[in-house]
A and B are shown apart, each in its own frame.
Chain A
């Protein structure tokens, strides 16, 4: 059974550019969430999607956005990149919203903004 797939694994971008990250959840998982992980702040929730609808959003500026497609694949976009956006971006999927079974994380996308 394939796990959560994130692409690309690594990205280097310049300040002011925008970036799109992709996440394919485990087959049958309809809930996809995104997290940002930095050494200083740890894992911070970005947003959650279920059945193409954003159900919850974390405390990030509007430059961070996302969407989910009908096949449950999700993308997140960061516009006008800042140096502080350098982080590991993790996608996670779960069977259904409201479950107690926790997430399965993908391998992440390491974004470096220079």
Chain B
């Protein structure tokens, strides 16, 4: 069973701090990695994807991937109260399928 594990949280950080969200995956054949943000009562929204080892930055968000360690993380710099949401890590395996395996999410609260 291919699994994606996330710290269930909740994770609470003060406004302006760096929030660090972590994810590990079991399938070494995993090819692409995604971070989705889901506000309460809303559908998931893609915020970043990464498929090469290393860091990928987009504004206040940085995704980090280490395939050898089967680990992917998301850093949110200068956290804002509007970042309060559940963050879902998703992994896609090799092949043509679009199937994503999701972690159960980490709930982040940014306190003003």
Give the interface of A toward B (CB within 8 A).
Answer: 31, 33, 35, 41-45, 48, 50, 55-56, 58, 90, 94, 97-108
Which residue in A56, A90, A101 is a CB contact (below 8 Å) of B99?
Answer: A56
Tell me which residues across on chain B come within 8 A of A45, comparing CB atoms. 99-101
The contact string, 1 if C-beta is below 8 Å from chain A, for chain B 71-112, is: 000000000000000001010100111111111110000000
How many Å from the CB of B94 to the closest CB on chain A? 10
Known pairs A100-B51, A101-B49; A55 contacts B43 (CB<8 A): no
Known pairs A100-B51, A105-B43; A42 contacts B97 (CB<8 A): no
Give the interface of B toward A (CB within 8 A).
Answer: 31-32, 34, 36, 42-46, 49, 51, 88, 90, 92, 95-105
In contact, B43 and A48 (Cβ under 8 angstroms): no
Tell me which residues across on chain A come within 8 A of B104, comparing CB atoms. 41-42
Tell me which residues across on chain A come within 8 A of B102, comparing CB atoms. 35, 42-44
Chain A residue at minimum C-beta to C-beta distance from B94: A98
In contact, B98 and A56 (Cβ under 8 angstroms): yes
Interface centre among B34, B49, B99, B101, by most chain A C-beta atoms within 10 angstroms, is: B99
In contact, B97 and A48 (Cβ under 8 angstroms): yes
Known pairs A42-B103, A42-B104; A103 contacts B98 (CB<8 A): yes
Known pairs A100-B32, A105-B44, A108-B43; A94 contacts B98 (CB<8 A): yes
Known pairs A42-B104, A100-B49, A100-B51; A55 contacts B44 (CB<8 A): no
Q: How far is the CA of A55 from the CA of B103 in the complex (A)?
A: 22
Q: How far is the CA of A87 from the CA of B45 in the complex (A)?
A: 18
